[in-house]
Structures are given as structure tokens and as C-alpha cells.
Amino acid sequence: MGVVTDIGQNSRITALERKLRRLEKKTSGGVVEMKIFKEIEGHECMIDGDGFFATKCRIIEVDEDWVKLVEHTKKADITKIVRIDSIDSVTLISE
């Protein structure tokens, strides 16, 4: 029975963490990040962050929390949806 209780508590904790992150973004400039990404929507760039190191991609779509991008690899183009929080830096590539 302890396991069932823990699962319920974990989902509540996760939901509260998500709400807290949204509040922090609103007060600390998360909306600003989204606006910056909106400006470079459709551009080729290099991104660094969690799981990315000098990854060449094209930003397709942006909302408050997520960035949809197409990652260019040697074998194929891969569409990914990534949290804005996981991106550390973006370098625009001249076209």
C-alpha cells in the first residue's frame, strides 16, 4: 500500500513543480525567452544545452515552454520538441 500512496504523491509533487516553474518563468522573464525564440522562428541555428552540443537545426515553432525544431544529422532530419529551459545558448547561422 505504501507504493500506491507514493505514486499519488509523486504525481502531485510533479504537478506542483510544473506550476512553480510557470510562476518563476512569469516573474523572471520566461516570457522574454519565448519572445526571443519567436523572433528567430524559421532560422537555421546551432543550439547547446541539455542533450545538445553544437547541434545544427531549424526552429519551426515556439510556445511558452516548448520549441519545435528540426535537427539536421548526417543520416536524416529529425523533428524534436524541446523544453525552452533545456536550451543554454543559440547561435544563428547566416543563410
Distances (CA, A) of 6 to 1, 11, 19, 77: 9, 9, 20, 40
CA distance 76 to 90: 21
Pair 30, 84: CB distance under 8 Å: yes
Indicate the domain borders of the chain: 2-92
pLDDT in tens, 8-24: 688 888 888 878 877 77
pLDDT in tens, 36-76: 888 889 999 999 988 878 889 999 999 888 899 999 889 99
Distances (CA, A) of 53 to 1, 37, 44, 84, 91: 43, 18, 15, 15, 12
Specify the CATH number of the domain 2-92: 2.30.30.100
